[in-house]
Amino acid sequence: MYHPDGEEVLNGHANVTKFDTFEEQEIIDFLTNNKVDGIILRAPAKITPPILDACEEVKAISGAGVGLDNIDVAYATEKGVRVLHAPKTNSQATAEHAASLILAAMKDIPQFHKETHLGNFGYRDGKYTRELYGKKLGLIGFGSIAQKVAKIMRFGFDMDVIVYVRTIHEERKKLAKSLDVELTLSMEEVFQKSDVVSLHIPLNDKTKELIDHAYFEMMKPSAVLINTARGGIINEKDLGSALKNGQIHRAGIDVFSTEPPPPDHPFFGLDEAILTPHIGGISLEAAKATSVIIAENLVKAINGEELETIVNGRELAKK
């Protein structure tokens, strides 16, 4: 759980077993030999078909965030297991983290920090940071996190903001007007025109490794790429090459296709890559609220209550 308060809620309703390792067979053995009513998991743990085959008593499974790419939802539905996601209680935290990575990349904070600690104060000579004022921010996606990033950067730093969306309808036009941002149906336009591109789309079959060398080639050499969404939406090898070859200036990355990333990951060793270990959504405030809501909703789902956060509720009702 993200916070002890969530564990306290669970402990008040159930006997809780915590796993610190995520070996598939270990989880299957436990499910086979124990009566388990519900499961909560955080990445990098996964709920796979073999695990679901062992979920004879399980009534509900909850992810610890909005994304459910680590749960086989379709197979869980076949097995009659409710799948829950967490409500968007961490959108402010994630938006602030995206903004922090933008600032770190544009101001080159990690490199200046490292050199200052080494006593190399003269590292600053001949080097310049860059202002955000008047620069163009491109957002890929326009969900709650992207909207908050737009608000922070538009009204806090006076950046021009362009947003890629798949459809433009009246409600979205009104939202864009309230945030003073431009909408476009062309993702290419965002990559070509932006000084900073920030990714805010889910990971699925259509978006897996969607952002690859073709998009990096469109970007300005001075541009920055930010990813606080899901690591798998980027072709990480292509991005590593783009950074190494000076094709783009910097990348701020909070998520990886495999977490934790392997020792030979293409971002490691690159000063151009600013890396954090998937911490965007776990501010103290968000962690506390999220953990409690996840725990409370899981208990309700196990007891048969209907909840908006049950993602496969309609499909299960048809069975």
Say which of 8, 23, 57, 259 is annotated catalytic.
Answer: 259
Whether 154 is catalytic = no
Whether 230 is catalytic = yes
Residues 102 and 152: their CA atoms lie apart, in Å, by: 11
pLDDT-based confidence at residue 86 (cuts at 50, 70, 90): confident
Say which of 3, 82, 200, 230 is annotated catalytic.
Answer: 230
Mean pLDDT of 281-303: 93
Residue 96 pLDDT more than 80?
Answer: yes
Mean pLDDT of 274-300: 93
Angstrom distances, CA of residue 230 to CA of 92, 192, 209: 17, 22, 10
So what's the pLDDT on residue 113? 97
Token code pair at residue 246: 């000076």
pLDDT-based confidence at residue 227 (cuts at 50, 70, 90): very high
Mean pLDDT of 263-268: 98
Residue 2 pLDDT more than 80?
Answer: no
Whether 259 is catalytic = yes
So what's the pLDDT on residue 44? 79
Find residue 273's DSSP bridge partners: 251
So what's the pLDDT on residue 57? 94
Structural domains present in the chain: 4-85+283-317 (3.40.50.720), 90-275 (3.40.50.720)
Residue 209 pLDDT more than 90?
Answer: yes
Residues 224 and 107: their CA atoms lie apart, in Å, by: 11
Say which of 3, 97, 250, 278 is annotated catalytic.
Answer: 278
Radius of gyration of the chain from Cα atoms? 21
